[in-house]
Structures are given as C-alpha cells and as structure tokens.
Copies of this chain bind each other. A is one copy, B any other.
Amino acid sequence: MPKLEAYDRSLSYSYAPGIFPATECLKACPERCLRLLVSSAAEHSEGVRSLARASEAAGVRVEVADRALARIAHKDNCFAAMVFEKRESELSAQGAHVVLHHPSDSGNLGTILRTCLGFGLRDVAIIRPAVDLFDPRVVRASMGALFSLRVRHYDDFDDYRAVFSRHALYPFMLTGAVPVEEAAEKAVRPFSLIFGNEASGLPDAFAQMGTSVLIPHSEEIDSLNLAIAVGIGAYAFTRRR
C-alpha cells in the first residue's frame, strides 16, 4: 500500500473515522482492514487502546498518524481511523432491498444506512449517479453500519431490475397511489423499497412500476427529508415481522 492520501473517490481504499465506525469495520470486515491509524494524543484512551489490540490480534497494522488523521477528519477531533479496502457486495436474492435512486447527500446516505441496519434491511442498491458511498463522511454518519450491509451500485434502474426481476417494487413518491401503512400491510415479499433523489424525487416513470407509495404529510411542507422518508418506510414495512 502506498503512502496514505487525502480521501478521494478514485482511491481503492477509504477511511472509517472515529473509534466506533473503525471498530465496526474491524468486527464486520476484518479482511478489508488495511491499517489502523491512531492519534498520538489518544495514547491513554482506553477505547483506542482496545481497538489497537483487537486490530493487532486480527493482523492489522497499527500506526501513529497524526497528520493523516487531521487530513481525514478536517476540523473534528479524530483519535483513530481504519483504512479499509472498498468493495462491492452481492445483494441477497431473497431478502428485502432498499433502492436509492441518485442519492446526493453524504450525511443523509450515512443515516439511511444506519436506519436500514436498524430495521434489518441488509441489502441496499444504489443507482448512479450518486454521492460516494465510501466517503468518510458517509461512513461516519452510518456509524459503521455500512460494514454490516450488502451494498451494490448499478448504472441505472433497469440494470438492477434485470438482476432482481421478482422483487415487488414499492417506489415512494409524492404522487404515490397507496398510503405507506396500507402498502406495508399488504406487502408482497421479497420487496424493494425505492426512494428518489433529495431534491427531485423519483422520475414519473416509477409511478407505473409496482405499487407507488405515499407517506401522507401536510401541505405545509414540500416533502419529507429523504432519510426521514426511508426511516418511516423501513419502519412500516418491517414492523410486523
């Protein structure tokens, strides 16, 4: 591995900044962990020492790297970060999927991943163009949930659909035909919950696919925040299992 660089989308590795996300990375994907970076200021932090011991036990090299940590975390204090190898996963053919169409906000994406894991939705498809899944800000906002999920990118929705032709489609739209509660009650499994871009939502064509879903809200707001919509959809579609 060459000298560590400031994070860039084109790199084959990224950083899980913070003790909690770095620990999740080591627990869920030890084979992808390349190196643990620790701050010299964190020598006496029990959290960092424990993570360093676990890393060494897993054969992951530990090094003091104050400058690299400052580069990764910008203004935030960051006592440790795991350098990890980027990888795509295979989605489960039987499992429920969450499909994110052109997500563009890194904080939202991280929150969505954490929420999916919280509701046992372990398979996430991302339709490009999309914010960089491996951006350290996404990893951090996900609290490391990223490492416990299967996430795969597709160049367009048809590519995804060609692979998973039997999933029942539930596109979430402002013009959705069926309220989320009713759609969830009658849900056919396995299902794909599909959510559009933060600003523009899903293209109109999705209204013709499967059962379009509405989360009713007052007319005083244009739309719910994307992560909130995913949270409510994930909650409603999984709460009876």
Interface residues of A (CB under 8 A from B): 107, 111, 114-115, 117-120, 143, 145, 148, 181, 215-218, 220-222, 224-225, 227-228, 231-232, 235, 239
Contacts and interface: CB of A to CB of B under 8 A. Distances in A.
B221 A118 contact: yes
Contact of A239 (B107, B117, B181): B181
Nearest to A221: B118
Contact of A232 (B145, B220, B222, B231): B231
Number of copies of this protein chain within its complex: 2
A115 to B, nearest CB: 5
Closest 6 CB pairs of A and B: A118-B217, A228-B231, A118-B221, A111-B225, A232-B235, A231-B231
Contacts of A181: 239
A133 to B, nearest CB: 18
A220 to B, nearest CB: 5
A224 B117 contact: no
Nearest to A113: B221
A145 B217 CA distance: 13
Contacts of A114: 221, 224-225
Contacts of A115: 224-225, 228
Contacts of A118: 217-218, 220-221, 224
A239 B216 CA distance: 8
B235 A117 contact: no
A23 to B, nearest CB: 11
A98 to B, nearest CB: 14
Nearest to A120: B218
A30 to B, nearest CB: 17
Nearest to A236: B235
Nearest to A115: B228
Nearest to A144: B221
Contacts of A224: 114-115, 118, 231
A222 B117 contact: no
Contact of A111 (B148, B220, B228): B228
Given A145-B220, A148-B220, 9 more contacts: A111-B227, A114-B221, A115-B225, A117-B220, A118-B217, A118-B220, A119-B218, A143-B222, A231-B231
